[in-house]
Amino acid sequence: MNERLEDAQRRMEGAVKALASEMTSVRTGRASVALLDRVQVDAYGTKTPLNQLAQLGAPEPRMLTINPYDRSLFGAVEKAILESDLGLTPTNDGQLIRINIPQLSEQRRKELVKLVHKMAEDARIAVRNVRRDVLNEAKRAEKDGELSQDEVSRFQGEVQKLTDAEVHHIDEALAVKEAEIMEV
């Protein structure tokens, strides 16, 4: 029974970690190198993550810098940033690529808040799906005579506590990200 609960906890925590990772790529008013995590550069005949091809930095609150390890990749890096869904325009001085992070409009902030709400709801659904799977497994074990009705009932309570805790973590992460986006 404990291994089932540990498995459920591991899977639920995975959903929360995935949400946290996904939220780092959502743009806020501040510069963060995590914004560039999803940018793929067409280099050496294959799509490669930008962070593997260049040194990334955020020297100022509204600026990102990109210093490609290979000078021949400047054009490919600029093209990848322009083609990404970030809506950012890089400038190249031959030594460094700079990206100024513009102030977000009120409308864009609201769109981003809706996006993170959707991400959070998807994570909640993933947590609830884990709960459903684990409880169905416990009911099957009860039906097969492996567990008593009392054990299943106790297990359901523990799984619900675990679910509530993980949903609470999701709600906290959502509140933090929402405040970050709406900060002017």
Rounded to whole angstroms, how far apart are CA atoms 135 and 140?
A: 9
Give the SS3 label for residue 100: strand
List, for residues 48-73, the tens digit of each pLDDT value. 999 899 999 989 888 999 999 988 88
Model confidence band, residue 127 (pLDDT cutoffs 50, 70, 90): very high
Q: Which amino acid is at 46?
A: T
Residue 184 confidence (pLDDT): 66
Token couple for 23: 């939220």
List, for residues 67-98, the tens digit of each pLDDT value. 999 888 889 999 998 888 777 889 988 889 99
pLDDT at 166 over 90: yes
Nearest to 6 by CA among 176, 183, 162, 132: 162
Nearest to 4 by CA among 156, 165, 169: 156
Rounded to whole angstroms, how far apart are CA atoms 129 and 14?
A: 13
Q: Which domains does the chain have, with CATH numbers?
A: 2-24+105-182 (1.10.132.20), 33-100 (3.30.1360.40)
